[in-house]
Chains A and B, each alone.
Chain A
Amino acid sequence: MYAQMVDTGAKKLRSPEEMTPEERAFQARVDADIKIEPKDWMPEAYRKTLIRQISQHAHSEIVGMLPEGNWITRAPTLQRKAILMAKVQDEAGHGLYLYCAAETLGVSRDQMVADLHSGKAKYSSIFNYPTLTWADIGAIGWLVDGAAIMNQIPLCRCSFGPYSRAMIRVCKEESFHQRQGFDIMIKLCRGTPEQKAMAQDALNRWWWPSLMMFGPPDASSVHSAQSAQWKIKILSNDELRQRFIEQTVPQADFLGITMPDPDLKWNPERGHYDFGAIDWSELYEVVKGNGPCNRDRLRARVEAWENGAWVREAALAHAAKRAAAAEKAA
């Protein structure tokens, strides 16, 4: 998802007997759905895993501004441009809510940024694909934000207070993102044959990467079991992916375009859609840094950070000067 394959440091799931009294008390609070707050005692592995997960989520919001930002200057109308700017600005906000939540766990903002820039911290694989046409902006809102909603709604109930509150705030804003994307798709699909072909082409390119966003099957992974026990992961990757497919296929039917998957069909016995095999080697390559845009994305982030350094320093110097003058006047 926005946080994919998060390492919990766990080798195996521990039973209550194997836990220290503090850990047992902590787990009992989590089990009782009592939120864990930053100053409460927590296992070190819980704290570290959350820093990894929340910072990865934050980085995804920030890097996620780049593929869409690519079309702001070329949006087809002034209104579409204003809408896209508002959408991208929301993503900046989401990144900031999440960085703040991670900072309550004792990691500094600068450290998180440094980890992103060095490649130590990851962001979602989906943002390493290019936005080639305007239809991609529609497909991203519809599919990528749609997948994000699927993942983020359960996280509103997660055990860590600041993360849960950030997710509630984010979820209130996501629905606009998905609808503006679907609205672009509707316009294109009701347009000329060329426009409809653009929409189909965007779906062809974004469908499989969107399904990969949920991460590889993890029902038997020890990290997922640990995250589930801590209630920082609520549903398995495959469950989320299946739900996403279920809600999205009828929407594509409405648009009159088709998923690029010949094996996708309703299975009345299962009461679910069956779908074709996902090429996981592609996901692993993208996560390793070999997607179509990985280098571009990271370069853009590092450049923005470095080019902004003098502004951050000047603002601090200005604030210090004004504070000194105020003190002198007092």
Chain B
Amino acid sequence: MSREWPLWEIFIRSQHGLAHKHVGSLHAPDAEMAIKNARDVYTRRNEGVSIWAVRSSEIAASSPGEKGPLFEPASSKVYRHPTFFPMPDEVKHI
């Protein structure tokens, strides 16, 4: 059996000026084919105006085991949200 085409992660930017968003993955022999295949697999209904293809093996990801040390420090810092500061009713535009 021959070698499998490498896996690519596909990111699409939709029409409304939002950031590229991960939509899924696909196999392709190279970047050019990854983008062509992504067009057919992920944008059959005008879902996007721009495609990024990244080799899956090139993506560094945080591990679920680190969830605590990575994200817990933020949960106690509620003052980062504006709702932490109730404003008097008379004060407008703030």
Contact = CB atoms under 8 A, between A and B. Distances in A.
A319 B6 CA distance: 11
B91 interface: no
Interface stretch (A46-54, A58-66, A93-101): A93-101
Contacts of A97: 24, 41
Contact of A100 (B5, B26, B33): B26
A120 interface: no
A166 B61 CA distance: 21
A319 B24 contact: no
Interface residues of A, number: 29
20 contacts: A37-B64, A39-B61, A40-B64, A41-B64, A93-B40, A100-B24, A110-B1, A165-B24, A169-B23, A169-B24, A309-B2, A312-B2, A313-B2, A315-B33, A316-B3, A316-B29, A318-B29, A318-B30, A319-B30, A319-B33
A108 B33 contact: no
Contacts of B1: 110, 114
A89 interface: yes
Interface in B7-63: 7, 23-27, 29-30, 33, 40-42, 44-45, 61, 63
User: Which residue, B3, B5, B24, B45, has most C-beta atoms of chain A within 10 A?
Assistant: B24
A317 to B, nearest CB: 9
B25 A100 contact: yes
B72 interface: no
B4 interface: yes
A242 to B, nearest CB: 32
Interface of A: 37, 39-41, 86, 89-90, 93, 96-97, 100, 103, 108-110, 114, 165-166, 169, 173, 309, 312-313, 315-316, 318-319, 322-323
Interface residues of B, number: 22
A166 B30 contact: no
Interface of B: 1-5, 7, 23-27, 29-30, 33, 40-42, 44-45, 61, 63-64
Contacts of A313: 2
Contacts of B23: 169
Given A97-B41, A103-B7, A103-B25, 15 more contacts: A86-B44, A89-B44, A93-B41, A93-B42, A96-B26, A97-B24, A100-B26, A109-B4, A109-B27, A114-B1, A166-B24, A309-B2, A312-B5, A316-B3, A319-B33
Nearest to B7: A103
Contacts of B42: 93
